[in-house]
Structure 1
Amino acid sequence: MFLLDVLDHTVKKLKAQTANVLTLANLSLGGFAIIVGINGNLNLSLLLIFVAALADRFDGMVARKFNIESELGKQLDSMSDIISFGVAPALLLYQGILYEFGAPGSFFTVFYIGCGAFRLARFNITESNGYFTGLPITAAGCLATLSFLAIPNLPPQTFLFIIIILSLLMVSPFKLRKV
């Protein structure tokens, strides 16, 4: 009987950490995306950001399914999201094209990251009411990452415009229904 109780307790503890493990996978993938991007492997960076988006999608689903949502999980998710969908996509675009603009390219790369951090902080202190305020950073990061694929086909100035628009959309007051 004791062994079954210990096993049951262990399974419950593991289940309780499943969402956090997925969140840390998101963070790790974003971290690796940054490292490989800095080292010039931009295509692998792009792939890692999209795999991080999958981990991000599943961590919330798992937390709700197992009823293990927590304040710690919410904060950890935001910290992971700033890495995977703030810093990683910004550096991907910077390495891919924005560096060509010198100081303005650097400024708007950091501006995007700052707007993403603001967006996440605002989300964490706001009651969930079925709506997002502003564009979620995951969506902005995926759009920024997708835009990287168009670098050979669009004028370079387009990417300054994209990063500025995504930045402003993240901090804007518009409401977007959660799906």
Structure 2
Amino acid sequence: MKGKHIPNLFTMGNLLFGVFALVLALQEEYVQGGIMILMAGIMDYLDGKVARKLQVSSDFGKELDSLADLVSFGVAPAILAYALKLSDWGYLGLAIALAFVLCGALRLARFNANTFTGCFMGVPITAAGGIIAILIIYFGNIPTLALPLAMLLLSCLMVSKIKVPKF
């Protein structure tokens, strides 16, 4: 089948933007790192859209997508937030960043292990990571506690059993 790997190219774009966000965190370029996470979101959206349009999907693509999502929407936002502000909180800040990554990983594993129709169980990691990216981009305009509280809330929501409609 021609084009069966095309969606995976978008998934790899997602992953590359996530890794780029991590590099930007090391360079203390937090706003640009947040923008890279949002770019990863665009790639993540497109990989699914292209796969449905071409009527191609595979277990390989699903697993690759989850790995890319963990980096781009779990690890990258957590490291950006830690480098930007959470590191000021010492071990508590580190615990908040780690909780975000771990809850995101659990959310992805639950998604891959179950079949959901009509709605997701828990907030998708892509939404949680995107929200953190937006908060980082606009960090100067929000209260100091907003970032750690948002990360804790989103961590809980990712592993919760609340139903979130699919769009």
Q: By the TM > 0.5 criterion, same fold?
A: yes
Between the aligned partners of 1:164 and 1:131, the Cα distance in structure 2 is: 23
Q: Helix, strand or coil for the counterpart of 1:68? A: coil
Which residue of structure 2 lines up, in the alignment, with residue 52 of structure 1? 40
Q: 2:106 aligns with which of 98, 109, 118?
A: 118
Displacement after TM superposition at 1:178 (Å): 0.7
Q: 1:142 aligns with which of 130, 137, 140?
A: 130
Aligned length, in residue pairs? 167
Give the stretch that moved more between structures: 79-88 or 40-49.
40-49
Which residue of structure 2 lines up, in the alignment, with residue 31 of structure 1? 19
What RMSD in Å do the two structures reach over aligned CA positions? Answer: 1.2
Q: Helix, strand or coil for the counterpart of 2:4? A: helix
Q: Which AA in structure 2 matches 1:88? A: A
Instruction: Tell whether 2:66 aligns with 1:61.
Output: no
Which residue of structure 1 lines up, in the alignment, with residue 79 of structure 2? 91
Instruction: Tell whether 2:153 aligns with 1:165.
Output: yes
Between the aligned partners of 1:21 and 1:149, the Cα distance in structure 2 is: 27
Kept after mapping to 2: 8 A contact 1:97/1:151 = no
- List, as ranges, runs of 4+ consecutive aligned residues in structure 1 with deviation greater than 3 Å: none
Kept after mapping to 1: 8 A contact 2:37/2:77 = yes
State the identity as a percent: 38
Kept after mapping to 1: 8 A contact 2:35/2:137 = no
Displacement after TM superposition at 1:122 (Å): 0.2
Query: How big is each residue's C-alpha offset from its partner over 1:47-101, in whole Å with a ceiling of 9 and x where there is no partner?
Result: 1111110000000011111111111111110000000000111111111111111
| Gapped regions of structure 1 (runs ≥ 5) | 1-8
Kept after mapping to 1: 8 A contact 2:107/2:125 = yes
Between the aligned partners of 1:154 and 1:65, the Cα distance in structure 2 is: 40
| Gapped regions of structure 2 (runs ≥ 5) | none
Q: Helix, strand or coil for the counterpart of 1:16? A: coil
Q: Which AA in structure 1 matches 2:4? A: A
Displacement after TM superposition at 1:146 (Å): 0.8
Which residue of structure 1 lines up, in the alignment, with residue 90 of structure 2? 102
Larger radius of gyration: 1
Which one scores higher on RCO, CA 8 angstroms, separation ≥ 6? 2
